[in-house]
Copies of this chain bind each other. A is one copy, B any other.
Amino acid sequence: MATPSGLQLPREDLLRAYRMMCDIRAFEDRVHEEFATGTIPGFVHLYAGEEASATGFMMHLGNKDYIASTHRGHGHCIAKGCDIKAMMKEIYGRRDGLCGGKGGSMHIADLDKGMMGANGIVGGGPPLICGAALSAKTLKTGGVAIAFVGDGGSNQGTTLESYNLAKVWDLPAVFVVEDNRYAESTASVWSVGGSQLKRAEGFGLPGRKVDGQDFFAVYEAAQEAIERARGGGGPSLVHVETYRYYGHFEGDAITYRTPEETDEVRAQRDCLNLFRERVTAAGVLDAAQIDEIEAQAKALVDEAVAEAVAAAPPGEQDLMTDVYVAY
Question: What is the interface of chain A, defined by CB distance below 8 A to chain B?
Answer: 155-158, 160-161, 163-164, 167-168, 190-195, 198-205
Known pairs A155-B164, A157-B161, A160-B157; A202 contacts B195 (CB<8 A)? yes
Write the chain B residue with the least CB distance to A166.
B193
When distances are taken between beta carbons in the complex, the residues of chain B under 8 Å from A194 are 164, 167, 201-205
* Chain A interface SS verdict (over half): helix
> Do A155 and B163 touch across chains, with their CB atoms under 8 A apart?
no
When distances are taken between beta carbons in the complex, the residues of chain B under 8 Å from A195 are 202, 204
- List 8 A-B pairs, Cβ < 8 Å: A157-B158, A163-B193, A164-B191, A167-B193, A167-B194, A194-B201, A195-B204, A199-B199
Number of copies: 2
Distance of A199 Cα from B198 Cα, bound (Å) = 8
Among A198, A202, A203, residue most surrounded by chain B Cβ atoms (within 10 Å): A202
Distance of A202 Cα from B159 Cα, bound (Å) = 14
When distances are taken between beta carbons in the complex, the residues of chain B under 8 Å from A168 are 190-191, 193
> Do A193 and B203 touch across chains, with their CB atoms under 8 A apart?
yes
Given A164-B191, A164-B194: 15 more A-B contacts, CB < 8 Å: A155-B161, A156-B157, A156-B161, A157-B161, A160-B161, A167-B193, A167-B194, A193-B205, A194-B201, A194-B204, A198-B198, A198-B201, A199-B199, A200-B202, A201-B201
When distances are taken between beta carbons in the complex, the residues of chain B under 8 Å from A157 are 156-158, 160-161
Write the chain B residue with the least CB distance to A164.
B193
When distances are taken between beta carbons in the complex, the residues of chain B under 8 Å from A201 are 194, 198, 201-202
Write the chain B residue with the least CB distance to A160.
B160
When distances are taken between beta carbons in the complex, the residues of chain B under 8 Å from A199 are 199, 202-203
When distances are taken between beta carbons in the complex, the residues of chain B under 8 Å from A204 are 193-195, 198
Return A159 CB to nearest CB of chain B, in Å: 8
Query: Which one of B155, B164, B200 lies within 8 Å of A192 (CB-CB)?
Result: B164
Return A207 CB to nearest CB of chain B, in Å: 10
When distances are taken between beta carbons in the complex, the residues of chain B under 8 Å from A158 are 157
